[in-house]
Amino acid sequence: MNIQRPAPRKRSVNLTVNAELLSEAKAKGYNLSQLLEEALRQKRTDEWQAENAEAIMAAHERVEREGLWSSKKRVW
């Protein structure tokens, strides 16, 4: 089953950017909108991982200690 999500809405924004960095990015043909979106997604991911680090570590420790719950179900 292939579920397609509608394309997210986009908004125009005004930003203040270091002129030297902007000139370099334009000269290299960077897509600034794409770069900003990727940076924001990465920031969101980093924050989520930091907020959940304790739970993630606890889950890893449990797997190391007890193994995977599905190990007993394997047939190979």
Helices (DSSP H) in the chain: which residue ranges? 19-27, 32-51, 53-66
pLDDT digits (tens, 9 = 90+) for 37-49: 999 999 999 999 9
Which CA distances in Å does 18 have to 26, 49, 71?
Answer: 12, 29, 54
Angle between helices 32-51 and 53-66 (to 10 degrees): 60
Pull the structure tokens for residue 48: 């989520």
Entry pTM: 0.69
Confidence band for 1, pLDDT divided at 50, 70 and 90: low
Pull the structure tokens for residue 41: 């997604």
What is the residue-averaged pLDDT of the chain? 92
CA neighbor of 36 nearest in space, from 52, 20, 19, 12: 12
